[in-house]
Amino acid sequence: MSALLELSHVSKRFGGLAAVEDLSFAVREGEILGLIGPNGAGKSTVFNLVNGVYAPDRGSIVFAGGEIGGKLPYEVARLGLARAHQIVQPLAGMSVLDNCTVGACFGRENLSLAEGREAVREVAELIGLSGRLDELASQLTTAGKKRLELARALSARPRLLLLDEVLAGLNPTEIGRMIEVIRKIREQGVTILIIEHVMRAIMSLSDRIVVLNSGKKLAEGAPAEVADNPEVIAAYLGDPGHAGH
């Protein structure tokens, strides 16, 4: 399995603060890689660097064999990289169908309007939005909007899908359903890089985990391995040394 996405010695500072420092890791084709770490660890910054919202100060980001560090978001999308956001951004005045069609038409395959609409119908089936294609995006429930966010990203038929806390705010049943959907997406051959705070979910979904802390990589490995790692535990539960009471 080759690396679909590879970060090498990537750094990004904001003013005096190093949000990401000398970070290197790879995402293998076909896998689900989970990115975890305490708040402020730099996970969102990593996503923003990968999909072109920020340019790295140092280091390289290689996707499907080509350097994408510093490319603009729409250029990265054209290469087959899609993102579902934590804070959903539906195109509110447009229908669900149109929202997804934008994803389909401007993604990797550069489809025409008619082809795009066809592609959307398939994706809508998978995600469970088939009955709602004509509804305005603004009228969906929170769970519906989250599915739309996912459907829209998927409509572009990406090779790599960035899932940014897509489970936040969902109740346990909805979380269960989303997890199933994410598994189905992977079965279709999409590689997934996921950030999640619902730890149960990310630990059970991911093939491998990368742990970030204060912008640096703390650990990498299978979920069980990582959960046993005392440094990782200390990062989350706090240093026992600090208690000294």
Partner 1 sequence: MIWRRPFPWLIALATALFVLLPLWRGSVQLRESLLLAAVYITLASNLNLMIGYAGYVNFGNIVFFGLGGYFCVYLVNDWNWNLVLSALAAGIIVSALAFLFGLGILRLRGAFFALATIGVNEAIKQFVTNFEPWGGATGIYLSLEAYAPLGGPRQALWIVYFMLVAVMALSLVASYAIKNSKLGLGLLAIGENEDAAAILGVPTPRYKAIVYSVSAFLPAVAGGLYFFKSGIIEPGGAFDLTLSIEAIVMVMLGGHGTIMGPALGALLYEEMRGTLLTIPTFSHFQLVIAGLLLLVIVLFAPGGLMGFIHRHWPASRKFFE
Partner 2 sequence: MREPLLTVEALEAGYDEVQVLWGVSLRVKRGGVTTLLGANGAGKTTTLRAITGAIRPRAGRVIFRGEDVTFLPPHRKTARGLVLVPEGRQLFGEMSVEENLEMGAFSARGRKALAQNLDRVFALFPRLADRRGQKAGTFSGGEQQMLAIARGLMSDPEILVIDELSLGLAPVVVQQLVAALDALKAAGMTILLVEQNVHLALAFSDYAYVIAEGRPFMQGAAQEIAGRPEIREAYLGL
Binding residue (CB under 8 A) for partner 1 from 91, 126, 170, 203: 91
Q: For residue 98, which amino acid is it? A: D
Q: Give the phi and the psi of residue 191 in degrees, each rounded to 5.
A: -85, 140
Locate all alpha helices (DSSP H) within the chain, ordered by sequence: 43-50, 73-78, 96-105, 113-127, 142-155, 172-187, 199-205, 223-228, 230-237, 240-243
Binding residue (CB under 8 A) for partner 2 from 1, 131, 171, 173: 171
Binding flag, residue 74, partner 1 (CB under 8 A):
yes
| Collapsed DSSP state (helix, strand, coil) of residue 11 | strand
Distances (CA, A) of 168 to 119, 140, 183: 27, 16, 18
CB of 49 to partner 1, least distance (A): 14
Nearest CA among 181, 202, 159, 185 for reference residue 2? 159
For residues 140-169, which are near partner 1 according to CB under 8 A? 152, 156
Task: Judge contact between 63 and 16, C-beta under 8 A.
Answer: no
Residue 208 interface partner, choices partner 2, partner 1, none, CB cut-off 5-8 Å depending on type: none
Distances (CA, A) of 218 to 28, 87, 95, 240, 243: 19, 27, 43, 17, 22
Binding flag, residue 46, partner 2 (CB under 8 A):
no
Residue 18 interface partner, choices partner 1, partner 2, none, CB cut-off 5-8 Å depending on type: none
Q: Give the phi and the psi of residue 40 in degrees, each rounded to 5.
A: 80, 10
Nearer to partner 1 among residue 56 and residue 103 (C-beta): 103
Binding flag, residue 234, partner 1 (CB under 8 A):
no
Mark 107-146 with x for binding to partner 2 (rule: CB under 8 A) and - for no binding.
----------------------------------xx----
CA angle 6, 155, 171 (to 5 degrees): 85
Nearest CA among 73, 56, 55 for reference residue 153? 73
CB of 180 to partner 2, least distance (A): 18
Binding residue (CB under 8 A) for partner 1 from 77, 167, 185, 195: 77
Q: Which parts of this chain interact with partner 1 (CB under 8 A)? A: 51, 53, 72-74, 77-78, 82-83, 89, 91-94, 98, 101-103, 105-107, 112-113, 116, 152, 156
Q: Which parts of this chain interact with partner 2 (CB under 8 A)? A: 38-39, 141-142, 168-169, 171-172, 197-204, 223-224, 227, 232-233, 236-245
